[in-house]
Structure 1
Amino acid sequence: MRNFDEGVFRNAREALVFALNYRGEQFAKSTLAVMAQEGSIGSGRGLHGLDGAATAAIVKAKLERLTEPGLAALIASCSLPGTDAWSAAIEEMQRFVCNSPTFATMHAELVELCVRKHFGERKTFSEIADAVGMDRVTANRKGLLIKAELDRLQAEAWSDFDESLRPALIREDY
């Protein structure tokens, strides 16, 4: 039986993935399924129906309190490449990087491809360099600078998001 003093998720990433993928109807049980489980003790987390919807709403509300680039970084890192949420988050990250004084003079297409690579699109720096007409070594060097900035931004966003989940007892390890 589940101890209700524990959190629902092991970490902030698990909570975010749940919230981004939650669909109310996906956890509904048929009458036959409910009858079949009569008397059984489940080990699930109870995230179906209204409990699941409420938990997803709490997590999303905490997520929306982050800054725009932080919000986009977490959504891009937890969404599947090619989905609408991932694409919108990638566009926001590109805008953020391009508007940063450090990267303002960088080739916009290089920034776009490096951001996409960072968040899951499978490309090599040779392919990126060829796409933007740049030397591979130069593209790699600039790509590593972009990656370092994205890593810093993600770490900051995860820390803020994780801290916001503490009062809601969403995580187990508190």
Structure 2
Amino acid sequence: MESVKHEGIFRSAHEAVVFACNYAAQQYAMSPMAKLLQRGSSGSGRGLIGLDGAAQSGMVLAELGNIDYVQMLVLVARCAPRKERCECNHSCCGGWKPNPLYRDAVSQLADLVVPALGGVFTLRRFRLAAIEKFFGEKLKMKDVAADLNIPPRTAERHASIINAYLKDTEKTAWTEWYGQLDYAGMLFSQNS
């Protein structure tokens, strides 16, 4: 049976995963005011909102499930918003809280990078910090190491191994992800 090619709606594999991660992070449908404010902006997903947006997001996330699990976590951690609005009206969070999608991806990666360290024992909190720094959090690894009583050279060596592992995994993940979306017919073709 021959696969049927569909007209994709995403210009790139990056745009697709960003759309899905952003949509998944939203707990509620867009308000009428948010729709008005978004008019004219050139966001991804080609204006899909409500159930259509949820369906498209679900299809993209289903395709993400077809690549290697660690690669999927790396793409989600790279593209998901790190924080989301918090409406608790308390001073504890300053109006922002960690996005569960990002937090869960980073947390799982902290356990899955252990084999890359070649059996060397590292504290999970240090691995989390190194991973968060890789994905753009503003952390000083020297300070994290000092707080955890890890010698500076050891911390530098472990952070370097984690960084190299994530960099290599991310490079491969983008290649696999592009292939997966192309095969699924979700990428917009300029020649159509």
TM-score range, shorter chain: 0.7 to 0.9
Q: RMSD between aligned alpha carbons?
A: 2.9
From 113, 116, 123, the equivalent of 2:132 is: 116
How far does residue 132 in structure 1 lie from its aligned partner after superposition?
2.1
Amino acid in the other structure paired with 1:14? E
Aligned partners of 2:144, 2:59: CA distance in 1, in Å?
Answer: 39
Gaps of 5+ in 1: 38-42
Asked if 1:156 corresponds to 2:172, the answer is yes
Instruction: Give me the TM-score of the superposition, normalised by structure 1.
Output: 0.75
How far does residue 27 in structure 1 lie from its aligned partner after superposition?
7.5
Indicate the residue corresponding to 1:58 in structure 2.
59
* Identity score, percent: 29
SS of 1:25's partner is: coil
Structure with higher helix content: 1
Indicate the residue corresponding to 1:16 in structure 2.
17
- Runs of 4+ displaced beyond 4 Å: none
Indicate the residue corresponding to 2:75 in structure 1.
74
Gaps of 5+ in 2: 1-5, 83-97
Aligned partners of 1:162, 1:135: CA distance in 2, in Å?
Answer: 40
How far does residue 28 in structure 1 lie from its aligned partner after superposition?
6.8
Indicate the residue corresponding to 1:26 in structure 2.
30
Indicate the residue corresponding to 2:160 in structure 1.
144
Indicate the residue corresponding to 1:40 in structure 2.
none
Counting matched residue pairs gives: 159
Amino acid in the other structure paired with 1:149? Y
Amino acid in the other structure paired with 1:107? T
Aligned partners of 1:173, 1:72: CA distance in 2, in Å?
Answer: 27
Contact 1:97 1:103 in 2 (8 A): no
Amino acid in the other structure paired with 1:86? Y
Amino acid in the other structure paired with 1:166? D
Query: More displaced, 156-165 or 43-52?
Result: 43-52
